[in-house]
Chain A
Amino acid sequence: MLMLEHEGKQLLRSWGLEVPAGIVIDARDRLGGALAGDAIAFPVAVKAQVSGGGRGKAGGVVRAESADELSRAVERLFEARFSDEKPSAVLIEPWLPIERELYLSVTIDSRAGGMVVLYAPQGGVEIESGPPPARYPVGRASNFRVHRMRQVLATVETDYELREKVISIAQGLVRAAANHDCTTVEINPLVKTPDGKLVAVDAKIVRDEWAAFRHRDIHDARQKLIARQPKLLRECLEMQHMYVRLDGDVGLISGGAGMTMAAMDLIEEFGGRPACFLDCSPGPTSTRGYRPAFAMLDADPRVRVILVSVFGGGTQMQRVANAMREIAKERTSTKPVVYRLDGTNVDQVPPILAEIGARNHDRLEDAVAEAVRLAREGYEHPA
């Protein structure tokens, strides 16, 4: 779960890193009373708080020289959208003098079997077009060795005083990332000011949502994120379903990330287009679990047909079939539903689906072909 910049910086500050002294303006307050008591030294950076990347290039960071420019910038940023996202807040910070912009991050790397530290001596918005950052594979936090990172940086960062500071910050970040269950801590840029300080001017921190059971703040952030979603999606997320909106018309209710993607690919192979990735396997495989999935796809005007594709191992398929029967009875939508259930106890499925006049397809390709055909024939909403 990605934290907003100002939340991430609060964490960095609590870990002992230097961050600019900023003021956060909530979308609801605008500039109103928020600045009244604060004496602002211009120039300042005005930064839209959004979760998407590429903000700098999209004009989400503005320099303001006066109170006038500041209030215009704040207004403008609150009106703007960044990759379809409205800023929930704006962060105002002193515009720092920069000697050099560095890149430093700690993230998870499967090849390292754990954490890895990445460092580039030239950071900032162009980091992706430059040479790849130096990579120090750490593994678990207690494996961090100052001398190993020093070796990795030996030819990369020739300013040895700066190098030692960077290593010491990296060591702290690795320990903090482990303790606070962060899967990414990226500081880009880490700014070297003319007086030799290293200041985190941006922060991208991703918390591990599966660690919510031992971190109140992750738990609360997840609840807040879910609460911000539209009602039907919110009810799906509350059931632990995983949803990604796509732009097609075949609604997909599936189980397991790999099988869901395989079904999406197959829909396209058969000339159709999937409307979503909707993996219901982490949630309950009962009527209670699947009901919000149907409600969301039934209400989505783009969806012309629903394909249910579940191949269960630990999930017993007669239970899924029973849920399908119950939902079919209570549904008011007339969008057609195509079923392909397979796996544990699949032999009990056909008679259950027969009770609602539905058949179970033996093979996924047959179900997909049927769903794509129904989508293409066109489904008319009842008047």
Chain B
Amino acid sequence: MSILLDQTNRVLIQGITGHMGRFAATDLGKYGTRIVAGVSPGRGGTVVEDVPVFDDVGSACRETGADTSVVFVPPAAVLGAVVEAVEAGCRLVVATADELPVQDAIEIRAVARANGAAFVGPNTPGIISPGKAKLGFMPSFCYRQGGIGVISRSGSLSYECCKRLTLAGLGQSTVIGIGGDPVKGTTAAEALALFHDDPETEAVLYLGEIGGAEEDAVAEYAGRGDAKPVAALIVGRTAPPGKRMGHAGALIGSIADSYQAKASLLRDAGTHVASGLTEVAAVVQSALQSQRDALRAATG
């Protein structure tokens, strides 16, 4: 198992005739993702990288059974594209675009929830279930199938950390980029709930940063009696207060936004917090080990 995405998702690419869309058609297909259709208004009836192109999502879904969409269109077109996919019945929609106005993210989140669809984005590399399928532009070689669920606010930080996990022999069930924006399609809390119910996921690695409230949700989960082991890395220890560090959500506006506050909140809840990037695989190991120890103690 994995969360949201595996070999059974029938995927369409919105914006398949663009540069990123065309690249994705080859790259995602090569990884094993079932790409069944592309959408590009006005280009219906053509074929891109062996994938049939439709004018709209509705007809693509009807004719190919697509149930999942990955969106590669410019920021100004994302709202329209995602709403179209959701209303056409897609159960999962991924939009990687950054520079999306937050009001559009709010609207997308509301429409997706009303239609019972999952939305991953914006400002994310996407989602990958290693060995099964990927929806996004993360470098495939960093990942290996296994039991660690990874949640990340930052794209390239997730490549870096997953490569470290993979080198340490710790494969991943699913790696989800929840994105660096304040309003997210899928929040840390929602991703944790999915990992909690996924039998393949043994432990969760959370990659966070200063600012925002996602870490509160992670601490809340880690503090539950039935929680799976949680490890975390929080970046931005050296960031000055009052300055936005690239991501719209990464800003120390109050004490609670700081590295120290987040790290101690997570530690107090029983999360294994890495002191830095180089410790990331080690804290996942120790999270797994502490659970084994607890089990052994419980079974005597």
Contacts and interface: CB of A to CB of B under 8 A. Distances in A.
Given A244-B245, A262-B235, A264-B238, A208 B154 contact: no
A313 B125 contact: yes
B283 to A, nearest CB: 14
A43 interface: no
Contact of B277 (A110, A262, A344): A262
Interface in A166-206: 178, 181, 183
B156 interface: yes
B245 A208 contact: no
Given A108-B183, A211-B101, A343-B139, A262 B160 contact: yes
Interface string A248-274: 000000011111111011111100001
Interface stretch (A30-38, A111-119, A146-154, A321-329): A111-119
Nearest to B181: A110
Contact of A113 (B106, B159, B212, B243): B106
B110 A256 contact: no
Nearest to B122: A210
A265 B101 contact: no
Contacts of A244: 239-240, 243-245
Interface stretch (A88-96, A222-230, A276-284): A276-284
Interface in A130-152: 139-140, 143
A242 interface: yes
B22 to A, nearest CB: 13
B225 to A, nearest CB: 23
Nearest to A114: B106
A199 B233 CA distance: 46
A344 B139 contact: yes
B214 A257 contact: no
Interface residues of A, number: 52
B213 to A, nearest CB: 5
Interface string B239-250: 110111111111
A120 to B, nearest CB: 15
Contacts of B276: 265-266, 269
A29 B240 CA distance: 35
Nearest to A107: B182
Contacts of B57: none
B137 A314 contact: yes
B192 interface: no
Contacts of B275: 269
A311 interface: yes
Contacts of B183: 108, 110, 113-114
A365 interface: yes
Contacts of A265: 235-238, 276-277
Determine chain A's interface SS by DSSP, over half rule: mixed
Nearest to B155: A256
A55 to B, nearest CB: 14
B96 to A, nearest CB: 8
Nearest to A282: B98
Contacts of A114: 106, 109-110, 183
A140 to B, nearest CB: 5
B155 A258 contact: yes
Contact of A262 (B109, B157, B214, B240): B157
A312 interface: yes
Given A108-B102, A211-B101, A266 B277 contact: yes
Interface string A283-319: 0000000000000000000000000001111100000
Which of A111, A262, A310 has most B Cβ within 10 Å? A262
A214 B156 contact: no
A368 to B, nearest CB: 9
A260 B138 contact: no
B156 A110 contact: no
Given A210-B75, A257-B245, A261-B235, A183 B157 contact: no
Given A110-B187, A208-B103, A313-B125, A260 B159 contact: no
Given A108-B182, A265-B235, A259 B157 contact: yes
A233 interface: no
Interface in B78-130: 96, 98-103, 106-107, 109-110, 125
B101 A113 contact: no
B9 to A, nearest CB: 20
A285 to B, nearest CB: 12
Nearest to B110: A140
A164 to B, nearest CB: 27
A257 to B, nearest CB: 3
Given A261-B209, A261-B236, A265-B235, A255 B156 contact: yes
A346 B141 CA distance: 10
Contacts of B233: 262
B152 interface: yes
A227 B99 CA distance: 21
A356 interface: no
Nearest to B140: A344
Interface string A27-60: 0000000000000000000000000010000000
Given A111-B213, A262-B277, A139 B106 contact: yes
B5 to A, nearest CB: 16
Interface in B159-192: 159-160, 163, 180, 182-184, 187
A112 to B, nearest CB: 9
A140 B182 CA distance: 14
Contact of A181 (B20, B103, B137, B180): B103
Contacts of A260: 245-246
A258 B157 contact: yes
Contacts of B235: 258, 261-262, 265
17 contacts: A110-B212, A110-B249, A111-B213, A113-B183, A140-B107, A178-B106, A181-B103, A210-B75, A242-B244, A244-B239, A246-B240, A258-B247, A259-B160, A264-B236, A265-B238, A267-B238, A282-B98
CB-based closest 5 A-B pairs: A258-B154, A257-B246, A256-B156, A258-B157, A314-B137
